[in-house]
Structure 1
Amino acid sequence: MPMQGFWEFLLSQQDKLIRQTISHISLTIISVLAAIAVGVPLGILVARRKKLSGAVLGVAGVLQTIPSIALLGFMIPLLGIGPAPAITALFLYALLPIIRNTFTGITGVDATVKEAARGMGMSQRQILFKVELPLAMPVMIAGIRTATVINVGVATLAAYIAAGGLGEFIFGG
């Protein structure tokens, strides 16, 4: 019998369920894409200038430790309610895994491979785009995947600040 009630609920709420699923996915995709756009260049920068790595990774790490509901609450006075504060908070949560994995991937490229590329006459830019990034890509993709999983979970809390998403069903229950 409980399964019958579940199917009835799905049928009666299917329009809202589709809208909230699209909203949830949109919040996640927008925030992760923004985090990739900022995090990958930052990861490359800190891989090139190791003195900055402690500060950049430290700030990103501190942002990751802020409880998600507190961060969303902190965003309300700054950005109001709705999708903007939710996307900003999700963006901040996605930064650490992307920056850290980009940094780790780039610094993990074997020095002899880079030296061989230099010996072939490649510029620093060519080495980055033709050697380091392709070799670092599996580690970078793992960071993006981690950031996406984090954001899918945290995006449920976006319903608290009227940003939509599947959290509406959780809090409505």
Structure 2
Amino acid sequence: MSYLFDHPDKVMPFFWEHVRLTFTSLLIALCIALPLGFVIAKYRKLQAPVTSVLGIIYTIPSMALYAALIPYTGLGKTTAMIGLVAYAQMILVRNVVAAIQGIDPMMIEAAKGMGMSKRQIVFRIEVPLAVPVVLAGIRVATVSIISIGTVAAWIGAGGLGRLIYQGLNHDHTGKIVAGTVTIALLAIGADLLFRIVEKIFSPRTA
């Protein structure tokens, strides 16, 4: 722990690299998962094949996936983000589907009875009701990305994993501990942040 407190100037650049890698990957993952999950929820025949493919990707060890990508996308952040986005899809898409399919059909029928268009039903009924479940998926995906992102240092993507690898290569226990603790704090902080956001958006009962 002493290295973390004695050399914050050396640890923080790795920390901010990890944060940027995490949230850039999360944003890209959401841009794919939100519409994909919505489509699957509406056309249920697609659910089994799509989730099966995503499940297979999710079970591939991160080292193996990166090794397979390197010949095509090279070393660095691009390859790291492709892997992180791919791993996040299973969690995000599953939660989006569960959120949409979990809406009470009677509420949809009532909205139709009130004369709402399909667009109005989506944005006034389905989206607000789905938000808490989707946020839960985003929370889990974020923690997963933070964790797997540590391995991305192996392919030159930077982040806190790089600090750990430096410690391993130079037999520097202080760097290993500093990197591990900082990653844990980042994951815990992200989890707490999204739990607060979940509570804000959760339906309140009287």
TM-score by length of 1: 0.93
Instruction: Quote the residue 1:3 is aligned against.
Output: none
User: Does the residue aligned with 1:17 lie in a helix, a strand or coil?
Assistant: helix
Bigger mean CA deviation after superposition, 15-24 or 82-91: 15-24
Supply the distance in 2 between the matched residues of 1:13 and 1:82 (Cα, whole angstroms).
Answer: 25
Residue 159 of structure 1: which of 146, 150, 153 is its match? 153
Question: Which of 87, 99, 107 lines up with 2:81 in the alignment?
Answer: 87
Q: CA RMSD in A?
A: 1.1
Q: Which amino acid aligns with 1:152?
A: I
| Equivalent in 46, 50, 65 of residue 40 of structure 2 | 46
Match of 2:57 in 1: 63
Q: Counterpart of 2:138 in 1: which secondary structure?
A: helix
Compute the displacement of 1:72 (Å): 1.4
Residue of structure 1 aligned with 2:91, choices 97, 107, 122: 97
SS in 2 for 1:130: helix
| DSSP-derived class of the 2:116 partner | coil
- Cα distance between partner residues in 2 of 1:21 and 1:129: 37
Aligned to 2:143: 149
Unaligned runs of 5+ in 2: 168-206
- Residue 117 of structure 2 is matched in structure 1 by 123
Percent of matched pairs sharing the same residue: 44
- After TM superposition, which residue ranges in structure 1, 4 or more long, deviate above 3 angstroms? none
Look up the SS of the partner of 1:143 in the other structure.
helix
Distance 2:73 2:142 in 1: 23
Deviations 1:10-66 (A, max 9, x none): 355423311110111111101111111110100100011001111111111111000
* Equivalent residues, number: 167
Give the letter aligned to residue 60 of structure 1: L
Once the two structures are superposed, what CA deviation does each residue of 1:68-94 show, in whole Å capped at 9, x if it has no partner? Answer: 111111121111111000011000011
Segment drifting more, 125-134 vs 13-22:
13-22
CA distance in 2, matches of 1:139, 1:44: 13
Deviates more, 1:145-154 or 1:120-129: 120-129
Q: Which moved more, 1:70-79 or 1:34-43?
A: 70-79
Partner residue, 2:165: 171
